[in-house]
Chains A and B, each alone.
Chain A
Amino acid sequence: MKKEQKHITEEQIMSYLLGEASMEQNSQMEFWLAHSEANKQYFEQIEELWINTEKINPKPIVVNIDAAWKNVSEQIEQKNTKKVVFFTNKNIVIKSFTIAASVILLVGLFLIFNKKSPQMLSISSSTEILIDTISDGSIISLNKNSKLTFPEEFSKNKRIVKLEGEAFFDIKRNETKPFIIEANGAYIQVLGTSFNVRTDTVSKEVIVYVKTGKVRLYFIDNNNDTSDTYLTAGEKGFINKQRGKAAKDTVNNTKEQANEIFWFNKILIFDDTKLADVVNILEKKYKVTIIIADHSLKNEILNTSFENESIEQILEIISITFNASFSKENNTFTLQHENN
């Protein structure tokens, strides 16, 4: 019996306390507890400790302190080196001027002897969607009235492009050369992934929806401070340089996810969606007006997906599903029951 006593450890006591022990372990535990007052006291000490640990406020969450320190440490190092040039004594200022002058001279000589300054190219779309592959193998799909500017050849360590309008990017992975998109003064940085970028010319907002992989969305303000947010697949990020702060949202279901890049793949998914809501979405996506003439139709529920179909085809399918018919006049469609 004494042997058994020794075998009871903190581990076994915790399993017993938390209801994680088996029947056999439980009875073994009870036997041990009843065996001596000392055992009981030892048990109660641990039980009390367990209860006391609950009382800390705010309650602990799981964070990685080392990783966080590394991140913060890098950030302050960066800020330190930036300041060295400007805020040290005159000697260094003169020195840095000398260095700067020689750098300019060298760059000048380089440009004279090597007349290959990067040629900027651009692709732009007007009334049609435009799909193009650029020099690094990335595929860019430009929505209507959009423009992408990029160098003929990317620099050694970065791939920088500039976007106006909306585009879907499928970026070729290159760990050593991050792909950076500049849009309305905000930046989107990736290694290799696919995502959609929409810029709003009026509000100056940049909206990024990530289909696969991970994306960093950030901007640098006038004080040289960075505000950023990381987005992963299925997330949507917003940034507005004028209003500051990067924010994000999760696009939860597959329906919303697909509808986010509808302009690009023309896929619409409806699950358990009321016909009234379906019509709202169709009106926006196809820029048409749809009237539901019969009130009873509005509450019908639709479960389907449409891929690359015209508005007429979609309304045809809806009509068949709900025993209805539709008529068209200019840009306005009317849905009603067949027998009317």
Chain B
Amino acid sequence: MIIETKKEYEKIFRTHYSELCSYAFNFMKDIDDAEEVVQSIFVKLWENKNNLHIKTSIKSYLYSSIRNRCLNSIKHIEVRERYKEFNKQEIELEQNLQDNESEKTEMEQKVRTIIDNMPEKRRRVFILSRYNRLKYKEIAEELSISIKTVENHMGKAMKTLRKELTQVAYLIILLLIC
């Protein structure tokens, strides 16, 4: 059995929730819908925890459950067909990533974890700037804070990333040497 206690379950939830929502968002194009899908998959996971046979990892199990749920809820056949195509490419892409670039994905994972663990406001500021490419002024308006605060959050976010990632890089180098 993979999950025995609620504590273990919560840990899995907190580790993967944000990333899975981003994944579901690619299909659903709506944050609420994406969150709804991911939460329902997690509820199912808890219900089926006693008779779950996962061949690969819990992460890839969650990924494929979410992909299927999203595709099912995308009504129009046309759109579904288009996503199937997109899906094929993506599976290949995933395969490639797994095949030859394991350190890079490890790095990606680390960046993601650092972002997920930032304080709520800072995480919002960073995501809006980096991934939604909003200007400081737009972020300030969106979150009802001052531009100065946005600047401050960005500085702190980069400081955390730099600190934690240089440690990782250092570790990788160490591993390579040993």
Contact B43 A49 (CB under 8 A): no
Interface size class, chain B: 35 or more
Q: Is the CB of A10 within 8 A of B13?
A: no
- Chain A residues with CB under 8 Å of B14's CB are 65, 69
Chain B residues, CB < 8 A from A46:
158, 162
* Residues from chain A with Cβ under 8 Å of B129 in the complex: 18
Chain B residues with CB below 8 A from A68, complex form: 13, 17, 35, 38-39
CB neighbours of B36 from chain A (8 A):
229
Q: Does A245 touch B at the CB level, under 8 Å?
A: yes
Contact of B135 among A13, A20, A58, A71 (CB under 8 A): A20
Chain B 112-143, CB-CB to A under 8 Å as 1, else 0, gives 10011000100110011111000110000000
> Which A1-20 residues sit within 8 Å CB-CB of chain B?
9-15, 18, 20
Q: Which residues of B contact A62 (CB under 8 A)?
A: 31, 123-124, 127-128
A331 at the interface (CB under 8 A from B): no
| Nearest CB in chain B to that of A75: its residue | B43
Q: Are B156 and A10 in contact (CB under 8 A)?
A: yes
B43 touches A58 (CB 8 A): no
Within 8 A of B (CB), among A29-79: 45-46, 49-50, 52-65, 68-69, 71-73, 75-76, 79
Say yes or no: is A154 at the interface (Cβ < 8 Å to chain B). Answer: no
A63 touches B47 (CB 8 A): no
Taking residues whose C-beta sits less than 8 angstroms from the other chain, chain A's interface range is 35 or more
* With known contacts A11-B154, A56-B108, A72–B43 Cβ distance under 8 A: yes
The interface residues of chain B lying within 8 Å CB-to-CB of A63 are: 17-18, 21, 31, 35
Report the minimum CB–CB distance from A149 to chain B (whole Å).
31
Tell me the complex Cα distance, A53–B111, Å.
7
B143 to chain A minimum Cβ distance, whole angstroms, is: 10
> Is the Cβ of B165 less than 8 Å from the Cβ of A49?
yes
Q: Are B135 and A49 in contact (CB under 8 A)?
A: no
Query: Which residues of A lie under 8 Å from residue B103 when comparing CB positions?
Result: none
Are the C-beta atoms of B151 and A11 separated by less than 8 Å? yes
Residues in B neighbouring A245, C-beta threshold 8 A: 73
Beta-carbon contact of B158 and A73 below 8 Å: no
Inter-chain pairs besides A20-B151, A63-B31, A76-B6, 10 sampled, C-beta below 8 Å: A10-B155, A11-B156, A50-B158, A54-B130, A54-B131, A58-B23, A62-B128, A68-B17, A69-B17, A230-B32
Nearest first, the 10 closest Cβ-Cβ pairs linking A and B are A11-B155, A58-B22, A10-B155, A10-B158, A76-B46, A59-B131, A14-B154, A10-B159, A58-B23, A56-B108
